[in-house]
Amino acid sequence: MEQFRANLCNELFKLSKRKKYLVFLILGSLICVASALRVLIINYLTDGEVSRQAILGGLMTSNLPFVLLLFLPLMAIMAAGDLFVGEQADHTIRFSLMRPVGKGKLFFSKAAAVFLLCAFDLGVLYLVSTVAQVALGGGTEGILTSLGACLLDLIPLAVLILFFCLINQLIKGQGLTVLLCVVVYILLLVLGTYLPVVGGLVFTGYLRWHNLWIGITLPVFSLLPRVGLLAGYGLVFGSCGYLLFDRRDA
């Protein structure tokens, strides 16, 4: 565990040195704030007939589709590409392999670093949206619900990250890998949206995992198959990704 923790800190340090993640986080925060500023436009157009609480209540919940379906997957794709294919392309991964840490711990510490980056970004966007909601007069309605939704959505996000880590073991070029991740991700989203027959089997359909747990009254036994399906995807992506990583030359 000490080796895993040390390597995880090392991978997080690598990501922290890449300024593009800070730039994208700032842009994402600005988009969340811009979505809150619509209250000023609506109040102006309606002469104040629409209350701020009605518009801004649960601001983070309204921002979740952008955050979960666009922003965080983009962060995960870039981070996985930097830590896997990027290091293999410039051969800097050899320095990691020279350390007293097995390939299994190295692979999963990289995946964990990508997950923690996305979780941190999600936390920041939640705080930005919450502060914007309160500052613009939206009150505190829906804040705890949004927090619960963010915590629940970390589960399918982890599965998506393992999927991107798996794709990174299939191709050597970083640009091509990023393109493949984007194309496959979009295809899976479209498949799950426009083909309801298989939509329940596509793991990207569970990115807004909170919809199954918050605001509905589905029985527990109806949710267990979905939990098992998501766990199965995670085991398959993690196992296959590690096996390919273990066999791949540095």
Q: What is the mean pLDDT of residues 164-179?
A: 89
What local confidence, expressed as pLDDT, does residue 212 receive? Answer: 74
Poorest-pLDDT segment among 29-43, 79-93, 167-181: 29-43
Tokens of 215: 């605001």
The answer on pLDDT for 157 being more than 90 is yes
pLDDT for 211 beyond 60:
yes
Hey, CA dihedral for 209, 22, 34, 141, is it positive or negative?
positive
- Picking from 110, 92, 122, the residue whose alpha carbon sits closest to that of residue 15 is 110
Q: What is the pLDDT of residue 142?
A: 78
Interval 230-235 mean pLDDT: 92
The mean of the pLDDT values for the chain is: 84
CB 122 within 8 A of CB 29: no
Radius of gyration of the chain (CA): 20
Residue 222: predicted pLDDT: 66
What is the per-residue pLDDT for 90? Answer: 79
* pLDDT band at residue 25 under the 50/70/90 scheme: very high
Banded pLDDT at 182 (limits 50, 70, 90): very high
155/210 Cα distance (integer angstroms): 10
* Rounded distance between C-alpha atoms, residue 174 and residue 240, angstroms: 19
pLDDT (average), residues 76-105:
85
**Model confidence at 145, in pLDDT bands (50, 70, 90)?**
confident
- Segment 223-246 mean pLDDT: 89
What confidence score (pLDDT) does residue 49 get?
62
Q: State the pLDDT confidence band at 229, using cuts at 50, 70 and 90.
A: confident
| Cβ neighbours of 194 (radius 10 Å) | 8
Average pLDDT over residues 67-76: 93
Which of these ranges, 87-91, 153-157, 163-167, has the smallest mean pLDDT? Answer: 87-91
Q: pLDDT (tens digit, 9 = 90+) per residue, 33-67?
A: 888 777 667 666 666 666 666 666 667 878 888 89
- Alpha-carbon span 120 to 116, nearest angstrom: 6
Go through the chain and tell me how many residues it has.
Answer: 250
Mean pLDDT of 169-196: 86
Q: How far apart are CA 246 and CA 105, in angstroms?
A: 11
Q: Percent of the chain scored above 90 by pLDDT?
A: 39
The full DSSP string for 77-118 is HHHHHIIIIIHHHTTTHHHHHTSS--HHHHHHHHHHHHHHHH
Distance separating the N- and C-terminal Cα atoms of the chain: 24
- For every residue of 143-181, DSSP letters joined together read HHHHHHHHHHHHHHHHHHHHHHHHHTTT-S-HHHHHHHH
Q: How far apart are CA 12 and CA 76, in angstroms?
A: 13
CA distance 222 to 100: 45
Higher pLDDT, 30 or 204: 30
